[in-house]
C-alpha cells in the first residue's frame, strides 16, 4: 500500500512494505525537494494535521520525519508560526525573541564551537557604565568570544556584564555554556526584556581577522542591552555577524 505526500509536497509513493520506516521515507522525500530547490528558503510547510492526513500517517510519524530535518538544519519550527525551510545561512531567532546565539544554535541542531578570547573584570567604559546604570569606574566583566560552525567563524561577541549582580562570573567557564543560561540558573537572575539594534557595518581590524574576512567586507552588527524583570540592566553587548554564514530573519504580523 502506498500514499502521496500532498499537492504541495513530494509526490513519490510511500511504500509501507519497504524496509525503510515511513518517517525515513517522508524525511528523504522532503529533503530531496529542499536540496533541489523545489522548496526554496523560507518556504512554509503545510500544517502537521494536513500533511499527516494527506499521507495517511500519524502525526507522530510525521513529527519524527520533521525532527530529522530540523536536526540536520534543513527545517526550522517557529512556535505559533509553522515549519519553514531554512536558508543556506544559519537563521537564528534573535530578531524575534530574547535568546542567545548559543541557544539558537542548540535548538536548530547546529554544531558550534566557542573560543573565549578575553575574560577580564575591568572598570566599565563610560558609555557602557551609563547604559548599565553603573557609577563611573564600577566593575564589569568584559567577555570576548568567537563562535564558529563547520563553515568557519560566524560571530564575534563582546559582552559587558554587571559583576555586582553576578559576583564570581569571571571564574565561570563560558566556552561551553550560554551566558543567559548561566545568569539564570547559577545566579537566579530573571532575564525578561532586551533591546537589539541591527545595522550594517564594514569589517576592519581584529573583527575582520577573527571572522576571516577582508577589510571592508559587509557584516551585520548587533547592539544589545538586556534587562532583568525588575528593570535593572544586566548586560550590554556588541556582536559582529558574518553576513555570508548567518542571516537574521524576522517573522512579522500586521496586527
SS3 state of residue 78: strand
Same domain, 237 and 136: yes
Q: Is residue 196 part of a domain?
A: yes
pLDDT of 182 over the 60 cut: yes
Residue 1's pLDDT band (cuts 50, 70, 90): very low
CB atoms within 10 A of CB 255: 2
Mean pLDDT of 224-239: 93
Q: Is residue 13 part of a domain?
A: yes
Residue 92's pLDDT band (cuts 50, 70, 90): low
Distance (Å) of CA 19 to CA 2, 24, 252: 14, 10, 42
Same domain, 233 and 110: yes
Which of the residue ranges 28-42, 107-121, 201-215 has the most confident prediction, judged by mean pLDDT? 201-215
CATH code for the domain of 10: 1.10.10.10
SS3 of 132-152: the string is: CCCCCCCEEEEEEEEEEECCE
Residue 4's pLDDT band (cuts 50, 70, 90): very low
Q: What pTM was computed for the model?
A: 0.63
Same domain, 70 and 181: no
What is the 8-class DSSP label of residue 240? E
pLDDT at residue 190 in the model: 94
CATH code for the domain of 143: 3.40.1410.10
Q: Which domain holds residue 127?
A: 101-242
Same domain, 191 and 162: yes
Same domain, 110 and 141: yes
Average pLDDT, the chain: 83
* 8-66 residue pLDDT tens: 444 457 777 777 788 888 988 888 888 777 887 778 888 889 888 887 888 999 999 99
* 126-168 residue pLDDT tens: 889 988 989 988 999 999 999 998 889 999 999 999 999 999 9
pLDDT at residue 40 in the model: 79
Of all residues in the chain, the percent with pLDDT exceeding 70 is: 83
Task: Supply angle C-alpha 30, 35, 36, rounded to 5.
Answer: 100
Q: Bigger pLDDT: 179 or 247?
A: 179
Number of domains in the chain: 2
Same domain, 70 and 112: no
Amino acid at each position: 500500500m502506498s500514499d502521496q505526500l500532498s499537492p504541495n509536497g513530494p509526490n513519490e509513493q510511500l511504500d509501507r512494505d519497504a524496509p525503510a520506516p515511513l518517517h525515513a521515507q517522508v524525511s528523504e522525500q522532503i529533503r530531496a525537494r529542499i536540496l533541489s530547490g523545489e522548496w526554496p528558503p523560507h518556504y512554509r510547510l503545510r500544517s502537521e494535521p494536513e500533511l499527516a492526513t494527506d499521507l495517511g500517517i500519524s502525526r507522530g510519524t510525521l513529527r519524527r520525519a520533521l525532527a530529522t530535518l530540523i536536526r540536520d538544519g534543513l527545517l526550522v519550527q517557529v512556535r505559533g508560526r509553522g515549519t519553514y525551510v531554512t536558508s543556506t545561512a544559519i537563521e537564528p531567532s534573535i530578531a524575534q525573541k530574547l535568546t542567545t546565539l548559543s541557544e539558537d544554535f542548540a535548538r536548530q541542531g547546529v554544531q558550534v564551537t566557542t573560543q573565549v578570547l578575553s575574560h577580564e573584570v575591568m572598570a566599565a567604559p563610560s558609555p557602557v557604565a551609563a547604559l548599565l546604570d553603573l557609577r563611573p569606574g564600577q566593575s564589569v566583566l568584559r567577555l570576548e568570544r568567537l563562535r564558529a560552525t563547520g563553515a568557519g567563524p560566524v560571530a564575534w561577541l563582546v559582552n559587558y556584564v554587571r559583576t555586582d549582580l553576578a559576583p564570581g562570573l569571571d571564574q565561570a567557564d563560558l566556552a561551553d555554556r550560554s551566558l543567559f543560561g548561566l545568569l539564570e540558573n547559577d545566579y537566579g537572575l530573571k532575564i525578561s526584556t532586551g533591546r537589539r539594534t541591527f545595522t550594517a557595518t564594514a569589517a576592519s581590524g581584529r573583527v575582520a581577522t577573527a571572522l576571516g574576512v577582508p577589510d571592508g567586507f559587509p557584516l551585520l552588527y548587533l547592539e544589545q542591552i538586556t534587562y532583568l524583570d525588575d528593570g535593572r540592566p544586566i548586560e550590554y553587548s556588541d556582536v559582529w555577524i558574518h553576513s555570508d554564514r548567518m542571516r537574521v530573519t524576522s517573522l512579522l504580523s500586521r496586527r
